[in-house]
Amino acid sequence: MAAELDRVARIQEEWRRERPDVDVSPQGVIGRLHRLSALLSGALVEVYREFGLGEGEFDVLAALRRAGDPFERAPGELAAHTMVTTGAMTKRIDRLAEAGLVVRRPSESDGRRRVVALTPQGLDLIDAAFTAHMANEHRLLASLPAADRAALEGILMRWLRASGAD
């Protein structure tokens, strides 16, 4: 039977033997999510690298692309959309500007505001990278039936909401 168990189940079995006084059932969910997170992160970053991007740079370009034409956001807004500090955002923007993918300029709708905007090169790059990213995510989920994917999405959404991370 032990040969049929996955790594998390084997760890749980060992803890149950060594510490029968502690309920280790949460490890079944948390341990597997943790392992999946590491695997998924590696697979996602691999695609970003194909486009010369790190995860942070991809996030910034994607947040700008999602803003719609003229593909601009204020630096503070970008930080909120990507959930990083303004200091970390400044470094990301600096790298992207140096690569010619974004520019800092006055807002088209309010010249008093400063914004970060995609350049034509940045727009082309994020469109290509996003297409590859979505193909990769489809590939990563392909082993799960559609009903399982939908159920898992709903469960994770409810859990995030209940955790205050909505």
Q: Which CATH code fits 54-143?
A: 1.10.10.10
pTM for the whole structure: 0.86
Parse the chain into domains and list their residue ranges.
54-143
Q: Which residue has the higher pLDDT, 108 or 64?
A: 64
Helix axis angle for 55-66 and 120-141, nearest 10°, is 110
What are 74-113's pLDDT values in tens digits? 988 888 887 788 888 889 999 999 999 999 998 877 778 8
pLDDT at 66: 96
Mean pLDDT across 127-155: 97
Backbone angles phi, psi at 67, to 5 degrees: -70, -20
d(CA 54, CA 47): 9
Quick one: pLDDT band at residue 1, thresholds 50, 70, 90? very low
d(CA 24, CA 46): 34
- The closest alpha carbon to 47, from 137, 107, 112, 108, belongs to 137
d(CA 127, CA 92): 19
